[in-house]
Amino acid sequence: MSKKIRYTIYGAISVVIIALICVFAFSSCGTNNIIKIASKDATNYNMELIYNDDTKSLFGSAEVDYINSSQDTLNEVFFHLYPNAFREGAKFKPVSEQRMNDAYINGESYGSIQVKNVKVNDKDVTFSIGGQDEDILIVPLTSQLYPNSRTTISFEFDVTIPNIKHRFGYTDSAINLGNFYPIACVYENGAFDTSPYSYNGDPFYSNISNYKVKITLQNDFVVASTGELEKKESSDDKTTYSYSAQAVRDFAMSISKNFKTISDKVDGININYYYHSDTQPEKSLETAIKSVSTFNDLFGKYPYNVLNVVETSFVHGGMEFPNIVFISDDLQSYEEYTNVIVHEIAHQWWYGVVGDNQNENGYIDEGLAEYSCILFYENNPEYEMTRQEIVGNDLKSYLLFAEIYGDLFDNFDTSMDRKLTDYNTEPEYTYMAYVKSVLMFDNLRQLIGDNDFMKGLKQFYSDNQMQFVTKETLTIAFESASNMPLTSFFDSWIDGTIVIVSQ
């Protein structure tokens, strides 16, 4: 996601560096055919959706060919039901109190998901709804599921879409379908991760999977989606679009009668820009093209054939999903709009291909997406933004925030790896995951030098494609690139013991 952070103070200031300890470095090989390999042992989702514009609802039927990729034998499988965060009375709300009026432009509106007819290997099972906030579907299996074995779980679901400017919600401009279907929870350390929704950050964590999705809707809608369009079949008033996506972490769409589309190609990748009010669409597409080109060169190639950039209603700056990014039509300046395009596209590398548990480690994908913007501007000087200016502004801004929060809270916590729901306020999360993380990566670059920093990013990308990364994998990549011990560097930034000062 991209947050709107504005600065008024300009100037170049550097960050004080901290002490280090030695650690062993290790790295593994990347692969050229990453999608083929990653899709082989992944869960397959096969979904058919019917969208009803009169009721702003979706009917879905899904068949999930689920693979147990853990080392444990499973007796049940859990799925997130994210639309239930949008229901009336939800404990974990999708927007903070401060943003309610901006998000619910026509007053409060509710959404939800109801699951029915759950079957395992074609046998009816009695499922239950659990989790901290009625947000987990628990499916009992008909027999034990051993490691690397598969079972077929099928269900139907009714989705009510709320009137809200969010990842999941509709406005007059578009209908955003992010996190709208039951998605399997990640199983790790002997349990399914059932983290609830949070208005902080992007509260999502899911395994690489394969998708076949059909959506049927009125002919006059334009569909922007994860994956590649395989087939389009039209009748008198309805069209069915069939999409296929291999080795992606999620599946999202945005649909609208207002979308216009322009397209171009870079490094063999089709880039489509869907927009409805952008007065300079060619410039936006050009920024998207340059982003993909720059990041392909700097980090390693985007492995998919398509990337869709969508101008849509969204209360925050933007939102990333695999193969598709949402850019808010609310952004106030063209510079800000450009920045969000670059940031969200960078997430295709950091979140999409290299994944992390965003419920705890958002500082990795958000910090890297923000830092990728700096690298983008360094490599595309025509945008007239410099590293010195951006990092200087981040430092000024962070110091001011720390001063205010230090006064407000005793024991002001500056750790970066808390659960999303453990942050006191939305700005606190934004400053830790975005601003402080940028300062950390810039400090790392000062410490190990430009060459080893870029080598480390390349290595981090190639070693961890289609995997989940942590502080430890981050440390390994940069230690390997620089041949320097970096454990205490990352520890002190991330656990909050480093004190950042200006000089």
Q: Which stretch binds Zn ion (CB under 5 A): 64-72, 296-304, 360-368, 402-410?
A: 360-368
Question: Closer to Zn ion at the Cβ: 1 or 139?
Answer: 1
In degrees and rounded to multiples of 5, residue 198 shows phi and psi of: -150, 140
Q: Which stretch binds Zn ion (CB under 5 A): 139-147, 162-170, 358-366, 489-497?
A: 358-366
For Zn ion, the nearest residue by Cβ is 1
Question: Closer to Zn ion at the Cβ: 311 or 366?
Answer: 366
Give me the least distance between CB of 438 and Zn ion, in Å please: 12
Q: What is the rounded CA–CA span in Å between residue 176 and residue 170? A: 6
Question: Closer to Zn ion at the Cβ: 285 or 340?
Answer: 340
In degrees and rounded to multiples of 5, residue 95 shows phi and psi of: -135, 150
Residue 369 binds Zn ion (CB under 5 A):
yes
- Amino acid, single-letter form, for residue 134: E
- Amino acid, single-letter form, for residue 391: V
Give me the least distance between CB of 366 and Zn ion, in Å please: 5
Q: Which stretch binds Zn ion (CB under 5 A): 73-81, 147-155, 255-263, 362-370?
A: 362-370
Residue 175, Cα to own-chain centre: how many angstroms?
18
Return the HEC string of 44-74. EEEEEEEEECCCCEEEEEEEEEEECCCCCCE
Give me the least distance between CB of 235 and Zn ion, in Å please: 39
- # residues contacting Zn ion (CB under 5 A): 4
Give me the least distance between CB of 204 and Zn ion, in Å please: 12
CA atoms within 13 A on the CB side of 490: 20
Residue 1 binds Zn ion (CB under 5 A):
yes
Structure tokens at 18: 């901290």
Strands (E), 279-361: 306-312, 318-321, 324-328, 355-356
- Which residue has tokens 């609208």? 256
Q: Which stretch binds Zn ion (CB under 5 A): 105-113, 124-132, 367-375, 422-430?
A: 367-375
Question: Closer to Zn ion at the Cβ: 131 or 322?
Answer: 322
Question: Closer to Zn ion at the Cβ: 67 or 288?
Answer: 288
Q: Which stretch binds Zn ion (CB under 5 A): 99-107, 178-186, 214-222, 369-377?
A: 369-377
Give me the least distance between CB of 333 and Zn ion, in Å please: 18
Strands (E), 112-227: 112-120, 123-124, 128-130, 136-145, 150-160, 168-170, 175-177, 183-184, 187-188, 191-192, 209-218, 222-225
Question: Closer to Zn ion at the Cβ: 62 or 309?
Answer: 309
- Which residue has tokens 């062993």? 24
- Which residue has tokens 């590649």? 228
Give me the least distance between CB of 1 and Zn ion, in Å please: 4
Give me the least distance between CB of 368 and Zn ion, in Å please: 9
Question: Closer to Zn ion at the Cβ: 135 or 320?
Answer: 320
Task: Collapse the DSSP code of 453 into the 3-class scheme (helix H, G, I; strand E, B; otherwise coil) and give the result.
Answer: helix
Residues that bind Zn ion (CB under 5 A): 1-2, 366, 369
